[in-house]
Amino acid sequence: MNDVPRFSWSEVCARRLARHGLAAPAEGVRPVDVVSAMAGTHAQVMSSAELAIGLRTAGQTRLDVREALWGDRSIIKTFGPRGTVHLLPAEELPLWTAALSAVPVSASTFSAAIRMTSEQTEEVVAAITKVLDGNELTIDELSEAVIEATGPWAGDLVMPAFQGMWPRWRQALHLAGVRGALCFGPNRGRKITYTSPQMWLPGFRPAETQTGLAHVVKRYLHAYGPSTPQRFAHWLNAPARWAVELFDSLSDELQRVEVEGASAWVARGDLEVPSAPPQGVRLLPYFDGYAYRVGNQPPALLYPGRAAERVLPGNFQVLLIDGVVAGLWHQRRSGRRLHLTVESLVPLSPTQLDDLDHQAERVAAVLEAKPQLVLGPVTVGGHA
């Protein structure tokens, strides 16, 4: 007799919406609670991160997110999954850095003339750790300090950048972040700064590796599960074989289930499914929709019909209907007015149109603006 728990795709969608705070805005939760439930919030564009968190809470705005980040410092901005900028719960940072530091590093795509040796990389990370102790430095100030501490080779302008060349040492910037040697500090005018995680978490040091890995796997499965080692590897930008071995090492803490006949995993005993099917219209901002896509595989189920061609190839702001991608949207701000264009790929019922109006109002409220909603084609491309 097969006693493996079974989930339908509809149940998985409902579960993920609930876990992400997208079924309904949560009452009485803090921004850090949302960030933790999401297994980190993508923050390459801070306004999108503020919106992603605000939409998941009842009555909060971008100012509440900023206070959590720069005021009470319950959230920390650093390099997270996939080496990209994320917001993470400050108290969980020892666990995240332990896990992220254990992910096998992909071979460098730079030529031998650009790459650093492993010894040079370690020298740069050590220099970053030292110069940021008690300091908040702009990238130019950090660069000058790292080059002074390591040698002229670190300052060679060899790395292709957006509008020029970066110094060689910048190859190790993300690595320093995932190891806990640096995080982002408050902006100095229009310039970002870097500082030490000790400013957020005095006495900080990474946790034991296996403890950190178990934490991140279970955070991921709580937010995106049921899932597989291969999808976890995709979300983390890690080798699939490494992820399979990691799941095997955690077999006592994980449980196999089936989703539409395919094997997947959840944290042991975490079999709860919402009683109601997935429903409602949601607007996910840039990178929030991308993270939802990266975690919520397979694409064929998450992007049905025309969404596979229109939305999946780019990093668009996503229109979710009943837990699956059904369109895209764009926003443009003009003073206090927020112009929202929503391109739905499916017909919208009167109830869904009403939901969309409420979502537009909520987006504007989080961003402290007045909404103007238009249904029509989105003519701009996806965010780079």
Within 10 angstroms of residue 78's Cβ, the number of other Cβ atoms is 27
User: Which two tokens mark 246?
Assistant: 């990691």
What sign results for the dihedral spanned by CA atoms 316, 321, 327, 332? negative
Parent domain of 328:
281-375
Residue 359 belongs to domain with CATH number: 3.40.630
Q: Is residue 357 one of the residues assigned to a domain?
A: yes
Give residue for tokens 């254990």: 102
Q: What pLDDT, on the 0 to 100 scale, is given for residue 61?
A: 94
The whole-angstrom separation of Cα 364 and Cα 358 is 10
Residue 363 belongs to a domain: yes
Task: Say how far apart CA 125 and CA 138 lie, in whole Å.
Answer: 17
Q: Is residue 32 part of a domain?
A: no
Q: What is the pLDDT of residues 176-214, one digit of tens each?
A: 999 999 999 999 999 999 999 999 999 999 999 999 999
Please check whether residue 22 lies inside any domain of the structure: no
Is the Cβ–Cβ distance between 346 and 340 less than 8 Å?
Answer: no
Domain count, the chain: 1
Please tell me whether the overall predicted TM-score, pTM, comes out greater than 0.85 for this model: yes
Are the C-beta atoms of 96 and 212 separated by less than 8 Å? yes
pLDDT value for 37: 94
Cα distances (Å, whole numbers) of residue 323 to 23, 68, 72, 146: 9, 28, 33, 46
Sheet containing 254-259: give its strands across: 6-7, 254-259, 262-267
d(CA 11, CA 8): 5
Q: What is the pLDDT of residue 1?
A: 43
What are the tens digits of pLDDT across the range 113-144?
899 999 999 999 999 999 999 999 999 999 99
Low-confidence ranges of the chain (pLDDT < 70): 1-2, 289-297, 384
The rounded distance, in Å, linking the Cα atoms of 152 and 240 is 38
What tens digit of pLDDT does each residue of 329-358 get? 999 999 999 999 999 999 999 999 999 999
* Residue 97 forms part of a structural domain: no
Is residue 161 one of the residues assigned to a domain? no
Q: Is residue 361 part of a domain?
A: yes
309 inside domain = yes
